[in-house]
Amino acid sequence: MFPDSKHHISIITAIFLAGIFWIGVVGCSPQAAESATPLSTSLITESTLPPPTDMPEPSPTAQPGWVILLAPPGADSGLIELMKRITLELASQGGFEYQDRSELTDADWIADVRLVVALPPDPGLQALAAAHPETQFLAVRYPDMQPSSNLSVLGNGLDQPDIQGFLAGYLAAVITPDWRVGVIARSDTTNGKAAQAGFFNGTIFYCGLCRPAYPPFYQYPVYAGINADAGQVDQQAAADLVLSNSVKTVYVAPGAGDVTLLEYLAESNVNIIGSISPPVQLQDQWVATIQVDLEEAAREAIPRILNGEGGQVIMGSVQFSNPNESLFSPGRQSYVERMLEDLTAGFIDTGVDPNTGDLR
């Protein structure tokens, strides 16, 4: 043997043992154990998949339903324009189909009508509502229309007739020399009586005794009553009563007469305060329109009615519109507007009980 062979054997042995130790350490580490895990080589077959589930059948698309604006022949053109704009917009927002009609009967009724917004003159609305209880109806500016379970009413004269009359009387006195003013109102309804009493108080609020300075010397304001069934002869008689007292400005309250009465007054050179949009042929002698602000009230009410909340009486705020600046100057408009603000806020009392039409 070579002299240092033992030494060489010791070195080789040490290296051999060190290698075994290193292999053992690496093999026992978590990373090595993880990498040493054998991969599964089994194939995914159709028999190993979970059983298929039945897909639900698509439900049929629900019909949106219809909203109809019913504007019979003779309806106020300004009211038609306003309500068409509001109704069409709200129907679109709610996902409903929209249609406007001049006539709506059982014979041409369509399926799934959700709401009918009806304008005067009355096409037999209460009978139509009774025949179709599944449909909601909204009567807009029907004097003295009463609500039912599926019939709501907007601007029917129940909206502070005393306030409307008071405003008309005040306005008439402001613009009329010698306060020669009068009112034509329904004599057979509480609302008509309240409008007349309100007009008297509004006139007196401005002019006091309202005694003219020059002849003819009549006591103002002047009142002429008219009934619901008044024909043209009766309407003309009411107009002649105020004309015979030299009235220069007349307030025609809601429900008192029709366009024929207004035309007769205009032909007699009388200026008119009315409750409708002025017909084209009357614009030169139309002072202003006094009515309830329908837009705000309608925008609030129609979604609620479409939600099934029928049988409402919707109250709106009184306003004047369609001012004729040649008869009702901007300065006087501002003056009357300030009075209306005080009246609405309750700082001025009409002195009339709107529930009875009597003076308080």
Residue 81 gets the label, from left (phi > 0), alpha (psi -120 to 50) or beta, of alpha
Measured from the Cβ of residue 188, the count of other Cβ atoms closer than 10 Å reads 14
Mean pLDDT, all residues of the chain: 84
Among 50-54, 102-106, 108-112, 319-323, which is the least confidently predicted range? 50-54
Min mean pLDDT across 35-39, 105-109, 256-260, 334-338 is at 35-39
pLDDT of residue 57: 53
Chain segment 180-219, per-residue pLDDT in tens: 999 999 999 888 999 999 999 999 999 999 999 999 999 9
Residue 193 parent element (H or E):
helix 190-207
347 secondary structure, DSSP code: S
Listed range (64-68, 93-97, 274-278, 313-317) with the worst mean pLDDT: 313-317
Strands of the sheet with 286-292, listed across from one edge: 222-226, 181-186, 249-252, 271-274, 286-292, 318-321
Q: What CATH number does the domain located at 66-140 have?
A: 3.40.50
Distance of CA 317 to the CA centre of its chain: 12
Rounded to whole angstroms, how far apart are CA atoms 169 and 166? 5
**pTM for the complete prediction?**
0.69
- Which has the higher per-residue pLDDT, 58 or 168? 168
Q: What is the arithmetic mean of pLDDT over 157-170?
A: 87
- What is 161-291+317-345's CATH number? 3.40.50.2300
Mean pLDDT, residues 347-359 taken together: 91
Least confident of 27-36, 45-54, 59-68, 95-104: 27-36
Model pLDDT, residue 293 = 84
Mean pLDDT along residues 145-171: 88
Whether 66-140 shares its CATH topology with 161-291+317-345 is answered: yes
Q: Which of 243, 201, 203, 208 is nearest to 224 (CA)?
A: 243
Write down the domain spans for the chain: 66-140, 161-291+317-345
In terms of pLDDT, which residue wins out, 17 or 139?
Answer: 139
99-115 b/e (C-beta count within 10 Å ≥ 16 → b) = bebeebeeeeeeeebbb
- Which has more confidence, 78 or 157? 78
pLDDT number for residue 156: 63
User: Which pLDDT value is given to residue 314?
Assistant: 87
Q: Which residue(s) pair with 64 in the sheet?
A: none
pLDDT digits (tens, 9 = 90+) for 19-58: 544 444 444 444 444 444 443 434 444 444 455 445 445 4
> CA geometry: angle at 277 spanning 94 and 176, to 5°?
145
Res 115: pLDDT: 97
For residue 233, is pLDDT > 90? yes
d(CA 42, CA 90): 63
